[in-house]
């Protein structure tokens, strides 16, 4: 079976498709850790985590996005990321990220469910803040 | 002269109205285009979600699992508490748009009366005023959804419904809105969103071709399903809001178009009346002068 050597990345949010281009390689967070994808990847369906999406363009430049949960589908050389939020990191403001972290810290966690939600929010906010700091 | 004056005054008023309705038509057209673009862009998400759901269900079927199961998919044994969400517009002058949505909502309310405890939630000032006039108590009102509903707003609403449904506080969620079919066809409908009867898997043909692909699942299909069912519900709810926004603009566009046409017709009849009145006045003045001159001879 001939392997198609191109890799297309499509990022879809509920409101619109924000990215649809051919890329060289990419790395993004799954629910339990990062995954790297090169052209010729076998089909996969997975759950996304929150964090940094690193995209290497064919010309060699790198682009970063912050993605916040969702799903991925890899099929026939196309990677589709369905996510609630995807922001290029140079558009994240440090102040907004800090505010989010503060809000996450202030959540009350009395039951297991609340605790899990708080932990997820903290994790997300910390990653967002870290990314925002690297961009500026 | 008095009659001709009155007609002129009226004529001016109608001309002004025509100017306003024509502008409103143009504004509605521009808004409609924007809303339509948003709706088509959002369609990609819904399509992908149903694609993944189709892949998942075929994978689960291959694995011999009993099929999809999720608290949001399951019907509650007894239907005691239900919610009806009514989507109307904030602004008027859009023809029969609000009336037809509210008519359907009322039908659902009558159906539920006595049998289930129905909570009514209304979005849009028009709907709120309608229920106030009907003296129908309303449990929640929203006026924040304008012609550009954002996913964040809908997400908040959706999370609340999901939680209430899973905790058994509500047994059914209906939504009354205007579904957008094509440019020239919109239909007011009451749709049951929870329980999700079955997930859209699209048409059978793509599902069959998709089944040939062997996916790797991270984590297991069942766990992905647990996340994707709420996502699919949210996408549906969001789509309803987008549809309502598009339909509202179309309704306004059509209403304003016919209003402009009617004003144009009225202007031409008024103009004719004015000319007649003026002519008859001239004739009567002339005959008075001639009469006076004849009397002097």
Q: Across the interface, which of A14, A16, A31 has its CB nearest the CB of B219?
A: A31
Higher pLDDT, B12 or A134: B12
Asked if the Cβ–Cβ distance from A15 to B42 is below 8 Å, we say yes
- Rounded to whole angstroms, the Cα distance separating A21 from A10 reads 7
Best of A11, A45, A47, A74 to mutate (most B CBs within 10 Å, chain B): A45
Give CATH for domain B32-253.
Answer: 3.40.1380.10
Mean pLDDT for A8-26 is 90
Q: What is the number of alpha carbons within 13 Å of residue A59 lying toward its C-beta?
A: 4
Q: CATH: 1.10.287.610, 2.70.150.10, 3.20.20.70, 2.60.15.10. Which one for A7-89?
A: 2.60.15.10
Least confident of A53-57, A125-129, B140-144: A125-129
Q: Are strands A25-30 and A33-37 parallel, antiparallel or unpaired?
A: antiparallel
What is the pLDDT at residue B209?
46
Residue range(s) occupied by CATH 1.10.287.80 in chain B: 2-20+255-296
- Rounded to whole angstroms, the Cα distance separating A53 from A64 reads 6
What is the pLDDT at residue B210?
47
Contacts of B238 in chain A (CB under 8 A): 14
The pTM assigned to this predicted structure is: 0.85
* Cα separation of the two ends of chain A: 45
Q: Across the interface, which of A14, A17, A71 has its CB nearest the CB of B228?
A: A71
- Rounded to whole angstroms, the Cα distance separating B141 from B122 reads 5
Residue range(s) occupied by CATH 3.40.1380.10 in chain B: 32-253
Q: For chain B, list residues with pLDDT below 50.
A: 202-210
What is the pLDDT at residue B200?
54
Helix (H) or strand (E) holding A72: strand A62-75
**Both tokens of residue A109?**
């966690």
Look at residue A46 and give its three-state secondary structure. Answer: strand
Least confident of A48-57, A69-78, A124-133: A124-133
Which residue matches tokens 């109608």?
B14
What is the pLDDT at residue A114?
81
CATH fold label, B2-20+255-296:
Helix Hairpins (1.10.287)
């Amino acid at each position: 079976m001939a392997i198609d050597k191109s890799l297309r990345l499509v990022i879809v949010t509920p409101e619109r498709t924000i990215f649809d281009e051919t890329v060289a390689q990419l790395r993004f967070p799954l629910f339990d850790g990062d995954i790297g994808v090169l052209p010729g990847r076998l089909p996969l369906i997975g759950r996304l985590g929150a964090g940094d999406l690193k995209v290497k363009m064919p010309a060699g430049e790198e682009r970063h996005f912050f993605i916040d949960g969702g799903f991925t589908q890899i099929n026939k050389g196309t990677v589709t990321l369905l996510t609630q939020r995807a922001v290029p990191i140079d558009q994240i403001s440090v102040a907004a990220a800090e505010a989010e972290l503060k809000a996450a810290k202030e959540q009350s966690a009395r039951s297991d469910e609340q605790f899990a939600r708080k932990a997820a929010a903290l994790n997300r906010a910390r990653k967002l803040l870290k990314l925002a700091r690297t961009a500026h | 002269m008095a009659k001709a004056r009155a007609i002129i005054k009226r004529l001016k008023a109608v001309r002004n109205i025509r100017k306003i309705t024509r502008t409103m038509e143009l504004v509605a057209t521009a808004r409609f285009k924007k809303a339509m673009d948003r709706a088509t862009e959002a369609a990609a998400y819904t399509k992908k979600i149903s694609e993944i759901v189709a892949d998942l269900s075929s994978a689960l079927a291959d694995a011999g699992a009993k099929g999809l199961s999720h608290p949001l998919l399951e019907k509650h044994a007894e239907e005691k508490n239900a919610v009806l969400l009514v989507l109307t517009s904030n602004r008027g002058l859009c023809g029969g748009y609000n009336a037809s949505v509210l008519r359907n909502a009322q039908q659902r309310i009558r159906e539920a009366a006595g049998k289930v405890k129905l909570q009514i939630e209304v979005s849009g000032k028009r709907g709120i005023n309608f229920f106030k006039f009907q003296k129908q108590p309303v449990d929640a009102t929203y006026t924040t959804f304008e012609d550009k509903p954002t996913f964040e707003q809908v997400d908040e609403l959706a999370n609340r419904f999901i939680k209430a449904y899973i905790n058994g506080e509500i047994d059914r969620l209906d939504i009354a809105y205007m579904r957008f079919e094509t440019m020239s066809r919109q239909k007011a409908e009451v749709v049951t969103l929870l329980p999700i009867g079955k997930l859209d898997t699209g048409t059978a043909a793509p599902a069959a071709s998709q089944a040939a692909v062997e996916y790797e699942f991270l984590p297991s299909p069942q766990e992905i399903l647990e996340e994707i069912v709420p996502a699919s519900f949210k996408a549906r709810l969001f789509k309803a809001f987008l549809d309502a926004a598009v339909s509202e603009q179309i309704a306004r566009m059509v209403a304003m178009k016919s209003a402009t046409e009617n004003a144009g017709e009225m202007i031409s009849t008024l103009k004719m009346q004015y000319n007649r009145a003026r002519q008859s006045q001239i004739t009567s003045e002339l005959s008075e002068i001639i009469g006076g001159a004849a009397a002097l001879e």
